[in-house]
């Protein structure tokens, strides 16, 4: 629905005032007239507020109260009326400083990104990457745990696999020797390659035959973990939601936290955004986050793998600031990874 320039200005003023309010207060025509629109009379502003309410963009909580934006009002604002907000040089430098140390793995990137976004926006953040079938094995270690069990540690470029198993030997010399052989065989190979039957048949040499049981068991662990692995997720700042008046109800907080603790509920909400394009979902459909909005952006990591980063905050979040932070983080990740590859 097209709006006149005056209605656009008034709707933007109501929303931006509501966003800045510590207590999500309704906005009155008198306030708008004094602070934003001195050229208009209070009567004119009231008429426009009434019209915007009839259109579904505003509502009021009490007969004599001012207006607050509706879900439809925020959608109109974010898609048509919102002006971009540039981060200050200092804000950009703070974000980049969080990635100045060497990025060790995908999980390291994801964790740093989530913490950086949460701190810069003061909203909850979630950063996610899909499972990468071409994750590269970097190291394998085998450690004795008890008389019958051993710890298998497989380090890849995106995660660490840990599992207690029975490898058939608890002799430390045997475990060290087997670790060395397996590392030589698997190092710098993608998981998809080492789980291929042709690879297994090819590498089971006379030297390896002594440790064939260990070899088979470690491969089983890697393959099983890879099949069950859904992706790498890091959440930060979920406690920040309770700072907002929308979540001053204990039951609401409990429901919201339960969503953050379930990847099955959380991940579908942020699987949007393509190649630095922003996706905005005003008013989540997920029970417990229906008073929230979700903004996501995606960036390339390696090959066809990408990271999706998002913020989850109250529906009256500072969308423009959050978008600027997400874009800066995404661009910083791509620059940092590109620099590492060189």
What global pTM score does this model have? 0.79
Q: Is the pLDDT of residue 337 over 90?
A: no
pLDDT for 113 equals 93
* Angle in degrees, 0-180, between the axes of helices 172-186 and 212-228, rounded to the nearest 10: 60
pLDDT for 342 equals 42
Q: Is the pLDDT of residue 111 over 80?
A: yes
Cβ distance 114 to 238 under 8 Å? no
φ, ψ of residue 122 in degrees (nearest 5): 65, 30
User: How would you write 147-174 as a 3-class SS string?
Assistant: CCCEEEEEEECCCEEEEEECCCCCCHHH
Query: How buried is residue 201: exposed, middle or buried, by Cβ count under 10 Å (0-12/13-18/19+)?
Result: exposed
CA–CA distance, 311 with 289 (Å, rounded to integer): 12
CATH architecture assigned to 137-228: 2-Layer Sandwich (3.30)
Mean pLDDT of 82-96: 92
CATH number of this structure's domain 89-131+230-341, picked from the four choices 3.30.70.600, 3.30.450.40, 3.40.50.1970, 3.20.20.80: 3.30.450.40
Q: What is the pLDDT of residues 279-333, one digit of tens each?
A: 898 987 777 788 889 999 988 776 667 889 999 999 999 999 999 999 999 988 8
Q: What is the pLDDT of residues 239-253, one digit of tens each?
A: 888 888 888 778 888
CA–CA distance, 338 with 342 (Å, rounded to integer): 6
pLDDT for 94 equals 93
**Average pLDDT in the chain:** 85
φ, ψ of residue 256 in degrees (nearest 5): -65, -45
Q: What's 5-81's CATH class?
A: mainly alpha
89-131+230-341 with 137-228: one CATH topology?
no
Q: Largest alpha-carbon pair distance within the chain? A: 92
Domain coordinates in residue numbering, the chain: 5-81, 89-131+230-341, 137-228
pLDDT for 338 equals 63
């Amino acid at each position: 629905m097209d709006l006149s320039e005056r209605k656009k200005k008034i709707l933007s003023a109501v929303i931006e005032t509501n966003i800045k309010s510590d207590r999500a207060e309704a906005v009155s025509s008198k306030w708008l007239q004094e602070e934003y629109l001195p050229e208009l009379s209070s009567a004119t502003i009231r008429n426009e507020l009434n019209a915007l309410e009839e259109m579904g963009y505003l509502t009021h909580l009490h007969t004599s109260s001012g207006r607050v934006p509706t879900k439809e009002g925020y959608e109109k604002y974010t898609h048509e009326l919102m002006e971009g907000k540039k981060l200050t040089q200092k804000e950009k430098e703070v974000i980049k400083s969080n990635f100045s140390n060497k990025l060790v793995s995908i999980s390291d990137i994801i964790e740093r990104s989530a913490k950086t976004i949460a701190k810069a926006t003061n909203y909850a953040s979630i950063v996610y990457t899909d499972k990468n079938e071409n994750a590269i094995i970097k190291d394998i270690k085998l450690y004795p745990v008890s008389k019958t069990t051993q710890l298998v540690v497989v380090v890849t470029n995106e995660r660490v696999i840990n599992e207690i198993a029975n490898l058939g030997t608890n002799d430390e010399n045997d475990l060290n020797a087997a670790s060395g052989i397996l590392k030589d065989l698997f190092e710098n190979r993608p998981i998809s390659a080492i789980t291929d039957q042709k690879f297994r048949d090819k590498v089971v040499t006379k030297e390896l035959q002594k440790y064939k049981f260990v070899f088979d068991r470690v491969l089983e662990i890697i393959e099983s973990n890879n099949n069950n692995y859904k992706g790498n997720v890091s959440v930060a700042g979920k406690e920040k939601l309770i700072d907002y008046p929308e979540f001053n109800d204990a039951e609401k907080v409990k429901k919201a936290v339960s969503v953050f603790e379930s990847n099955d509920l959380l991940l579908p909400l942020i699987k949007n955004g393509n190649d630095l394009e922003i996706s905005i979902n005003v008013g989540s459909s997920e029970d417990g986050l229906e008073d929230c909005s979700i903004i996501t952006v995606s960036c390339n990591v390696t090959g066809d793998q990408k990271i999706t980063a998002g913020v989850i905050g109250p529906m009256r979040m500072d969308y423009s600031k959050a978008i600027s932070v997400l874009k800066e983080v995404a661009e910083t990740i791509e620059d940092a990874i590109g620099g590492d590859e060189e």
